[in-house]
Each structure stands twice: as C-alpha cells, then as structure tokens.
Amino acid sequence: MRRGLLHLAALAACLAAGCGREAPKDAAPLRIVSTSAAATHILLALGAEEELAAIDSHGSIVPGAERIPVAGRGSVLSLEELTRLRVNRAVLWYYQRELAASLRDRGIAVTTVPPLRLGNYAELVQRLGELTDRKREAQRLVGKFQAALPAASEKTGPKVYWELYGPGRAVGEESYFGDLLRLAGAENCAAGSAGGGSVSLEAVVARSPEVILFMEGSGSAAEIAARPGLAGTPAVKSGRIHPVDRVRVLEGVDPAGAVRYLHELIHRKERK
C-alpha cells in the first residue's frame, strides 16, 4: 500500500513537471526585412546574413547585399514576398510610420532606426546585436568603429559647400553628412542648418566656399561653376568642384571609410 502511494506521488510530481508531454516547439527563426541601408550593412557585418531574409531595392547598393532577396522599394513592400520569405521582423527607418503600422497589424514586429548620426551609431550596432543574439560581435564592431574614426581637429579646415541633389539643398551641420564633413576637417558653409538644409545661392557666395561637393549624377562641375556669383568663389577659381560617390558615403555604411574619402576630396591640391 505504502509503495503504491509512493508511486502515485511520483507520478503526480512527474505530471506537474510536464513529464510525458511533448516538448514545446522552439520559437520561429528570426527572419528580418530591412529597409535601412545602415541596418543592412550592420547586420551583414555582425554575420547575420542568415537572419536577413529580405531588403528593399535601395539596400542593394550596400556591399555584400547583392545576394539578399529584394522585397520592394522604400516603403512599398510586397506582402506576398514577405510571407514567402517567412519574415517576422522588420527594421525600418523612423519616418516609415505607415509601413510600420501596417506590418505590426500583420503580426510582424518592428525595430525602428532613428535619425542617424555618428554619435548614435554605436547604439544602433548594439541594438541590432541584441536583436540577432550577437552581442559579442556587436561589441567588437563598435570597438572597430570607434578606433577607426579620426579625432575631430581643432584647426579650421577649408570651407565646403556640399550640395544634395540640386541647387539650394545643402548638407546641414546637424546631420550624418555634417558629422562626416566635420571629422574630415571641413568648415560647413551651411552651418546653422539642420539635416538637408535649404541655403540660398547668395548665402553660399557670401561664405566663399573653397571646395564644392555635389552628389554624383545630380549635376556637373561645369553647371555649378556657371551659376551666377559662383564664378568668383575660391572653389570655382581653383577648380575644386568634386562629385561625391554616393556608395562611399551611404548612411551608416563604413563611416570611417566615408570620412577618409571626404578628407581626400576636400584636401586635394588646388589647380595651378
């Protein structure tokens, strides 16, 4: 009798602990769609290519992302493609609010990338490291990033006007590109403006830029030099009007390399 009671007690304890039940299935593997080139670059650098299920077409420009399936363009993603690729997490830019709401309604969790600056880049790396369970790799990547960035120079460098895709739209001081310019040793002619700040031609001329940069494919050195008033600026007189390779300065993609590239552009010798 006593032995039977012991058997019953053991059976009850076993049932309470879940003995004999089917083990719970593991959570679904992480499958990410990224519409942020910065996040795409970081995820690849962390070794999370297996988790990166899809990107948008803009992200195809990121080195190493050529093999990742494209699920749309910008904020227009194919739900059929996301379903086919079993996407369960989206990494989106902060301004893609409607897309974020739509994906959440469909059960896809969303991680938001804030306005990117060099000052919060390490934080983004760490967040994505946590998301993909690669905290150690994230720490290494942050250390590499911080070691590669040059220290800000106290010297006043050449005055630079960096035009974004058309007249009057310049790289603002308080922006990712503005951060790159500062570390490259330049004085921004659009100082005081925000991200993609508007600046008048008169204001640019008044600041006498010594170097003019423009995004490759958005204009030409000849067209810029021919604008009224610019002919008399030091940049035009010395021929220091340079196109910027968009791939070399992608937001969040090799920031240290972007700084070195810009430093080379703005410190080229003047035309004799």
- For the beta carbon of residue 108, count every other beta carbon within 10 angstroms: 20
Domain boundary among 148, 181, 213: 148
- In a domain, residue 95? The reply is yes
Q: What is the pLDDT of residue 218?
A: 83
Whether residue 91 is found in the same domain as residue 177: no
d(CA 243, CA 214) in angstroms, rounded, equals 5
Q: Over range 180-191, report the average pLDDT.
A: 89
CATH number at residue 50: 3.40.50.1980
- Indicate the DSSP class of residue 114: P
3-state secondary structure string across 86-109: CCCEEEEECCCHHHHHHHHHCCCE
Give the tens place of pLDDT for each residue, 250-272: 999 999 999 999 999 998 865 54
Q: Over range 175-204, report the average pLDDT.
A: 82
- In a domain, residue 106? The reply is yes
Give which of 149, 114, 167 is closest to 263, Cα–Cα: 149
Domain boundary among 148, 176, 194: 148
- In a domain, residue 46? The reply is yes
d(CA 231, CA 63) in angstroms, rounded, equals 38
Q: What is the pLDDT of residue 168?
A: 77
Q: What is the pLDDT of residue 271?
A: 53
Give the tens place of pLDDT for each residue, 145-181: 999 887 765 567 899 999 988 787 889 888 999 999 9
Whether residue 210 is found in the same domain as residue 133: no
> Could you tell me what percent of the chain has a pLDDT over 90?
68
Whether residue 134 is found in the same domain as residue 176: no
Give the tens place of pLDDT for each residue, 60-98: 999 999 999 999 999 999 999 999 999 999 999 999 999
